[in-house]
């Protein structure tokens, strides 16, 4: 996680704040793998690291606005670690109540001294103390004068994305969407024995989780969804029932895709871009043991993780295949799922770093890839079969734009309206699954169910 071994106080090396700083330095290089980095932490330290990392990333835009008012040079001119020390300190000063200001400043200066052998310590000390003294004099952008700047700064989202939403949704919907993105998403479990049916099988598991001091409630739309919240939330693998394969961690929005797909028992199913495997395992469970699900992905390591979950869940009807979704190695499936790579703007509440990683220019490359995968999926679908296209994006270019363009060029497919399979409130005007975190209280998702004409 970087060379952070300080020469001063030995506690700095094992400090959860130092681990949080290291993770902030690395999020651009790799996804935030919480479990791998926090294995050695106590439950208390684990919660603190999560709060510091996700909170600092979530509010980075607003934090940088504050820092820009108190720095003599541009924030980007400072070394990355100094920027992140300042950002994490401002997050604690502004958005955390339990830590005294003097302790935050002291820790931040000590971290800087240990990492840079004395350099930048006075700068960090001066900026933070000046900010504390003059905090009440800071003026934020006004919604009445400049709604774009107001939303961009106050809700800490990239300006290009906020402008898109303002143009598309208007002020009030955009404000509620950005606000929802800044609320930490809950842990959601898919109860395996409850998939697709009303049952009390989850009652024992629910009681065991509640006995651990956590809060549990049923999902909003599906019987197999169980929402877990509460302070000191452990990693999912430490919850009761994990090793026995009683649940899979998956947001309710992602579960809805498998219900829209409505797999037929005993059928052959292909899942393109399958890793990490939530939808593959859900389809395998819903379709039953007489079906066969072939889950393919280009990333072998991610398929290995999927294989671990297959074994844990006891699914004997799921096979793995390493291949490029644009060049499928299999044909003639009764159901094909194309859960394509996308910007992920529907899961910003769950992955706060994504808002700073994605760029507007990424859309063009992604939509071209999405079209290629959907066309390949269509060719792999048997006559009379079903093709499901899905994303975790809110962007129209990646969603209905792809589907409408596909349908315009393929007269052998038609849209099967989603309201035949899902509640009306989850269905867009075009007849597709479309969820928003501020409207439905779950992740943002899109999916279209397309049916191929039977053979002549």
Which residues, 6+ apart, have CB-to-CB distance to 370 below 8 Å? 340, 341, 342, 391, 398, 402
Those residues whose C-beta lies under 8 Å from the C-beta of residue 275, and which sit 6 or more positions away, are 295, 297, 299, 302, 303, 305, 306
Beta-carbon-side half-sphere exposure of residue 87 (alpha carbons within 13 Å): 30
Please report, for residues 87, 128, 148, 437, the alpha-carbon distance to residue 441 in angstroms, rounded to integers and kept in the order given. 29, 36, 25, 5
Q: Any idea which residue has 């990490």 for tokens?
A: 276
Catalytic site residue from 342, 381, 392, 432: 392
How far is C-alpha 100 from the geometric centre of its chain's CA atoms? 32
Task: Give the span between the Cα atoms of 348 and 422, in whole angstroms.
Answer: 24
- Spatial distance between the Cα atoms of 145 and 173, rounded to a whole number of angstroms: 18
Instruction: Classify 42 as helix, strand or coil.
Output: coil
Between CA 175 and CA 151 the distance in angstroms is 7
Beta bridge partners of 434: 446
Quickly list H helices, 345-413: 354-357, 362-380, 400-409
Question: Is 41 a known active-site residue?
Answer: no
- Which neighbouring-strand residues pair with 450? 387, 415
Which positions are catalytic?
392
């Amino acid at each position: 996680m970087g060379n952070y071994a300080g020469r001063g106080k030995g506690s700095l090396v094992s400090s959860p704040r130092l681990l949080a700083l290291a993770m902030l330095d690395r999020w651009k290089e790799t996804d935030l793998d919480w479990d791998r980095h926090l294995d050695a932490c106590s439950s208390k330290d684990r919660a603190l690291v999560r709060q510091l990392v996700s909170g600092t990333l979530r509010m980075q835009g607003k934090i940088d606005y504050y820092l820009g008012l108190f720095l003599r040079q541009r924030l980007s001119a400072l070394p990355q670690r100094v920027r992140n020390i300042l950002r994490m300190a401002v997050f604690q000063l502004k958005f955390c109540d339990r830590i005294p200001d003097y302790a935050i400043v002291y820790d931040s200066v000590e971290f800087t001294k240990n990492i840079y052998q004395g350099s930048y310590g006075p700068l960090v000390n001066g900026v933070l103390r000046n900010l504390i003294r003059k905090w009440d004099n800071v003026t934020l952008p006004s919604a009445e004068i400049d709604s774009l700047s107001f939303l961009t700064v106050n809700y800490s989202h990239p300006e290009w994305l906020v402008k898109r939403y303002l143009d598309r949704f208007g002020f009030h919907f955009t404000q509620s969407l950005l606000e929802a993105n800044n609320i930490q998403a809950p842990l959601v479990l898919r109860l395996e024995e409850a998939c697709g049916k009303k049952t009390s099988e989850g009652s024992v598991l629910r009681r065991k989780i509640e006995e651990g001091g956590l809060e549990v409630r049923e999902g909003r739309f599906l019987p197999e969804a169980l929402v877990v919240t509460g302070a000191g939330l452990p990693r999912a693998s430490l919850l009761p029932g994990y090793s026995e394969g009683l649940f899979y961690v998956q947001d309710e929005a992602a579960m809805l895709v498998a219900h829209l797909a409505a797999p037929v028992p005993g059928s052959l199913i292909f899942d393109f871009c399958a890793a990490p495997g939530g939808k593959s395992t859900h389809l395998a469970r819903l379709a039953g043991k007489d079906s066969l699900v072939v889950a393919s992905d280009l990333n072998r390591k991610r398929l290995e993780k999927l294989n671990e979950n297959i074994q844990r869940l006891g699914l004997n009807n799921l096979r793995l295949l390493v291949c490029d979704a644009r060049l499928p190695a299999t044909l003639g499936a009764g159901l094909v799922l194309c859960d394509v790579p996308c910007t992920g703007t529907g899961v910003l509440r769950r992955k706060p770093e994504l808002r700073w990683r994605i760029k507007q220019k990424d859309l063009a490359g992604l939509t071209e890839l999405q079209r290629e995968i959907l066309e390949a999926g269509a060719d792999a679908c048997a006559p009379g079969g079903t093709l499901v296209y899905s994303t975790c994006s809110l962007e129209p270019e990646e969603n209905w734009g792809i589907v409408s363009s596909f349908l315009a060029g393929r007269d052998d497919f038609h849209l099967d309206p989603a309201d035949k399979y899902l509640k009306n409130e989850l269905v867009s005007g075009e007849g597709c699954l479309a969820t928003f975190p501020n409207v439905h209280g779950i992740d943002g998702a899109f999916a279209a169910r397309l049916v191929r004409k039977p053979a002549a």
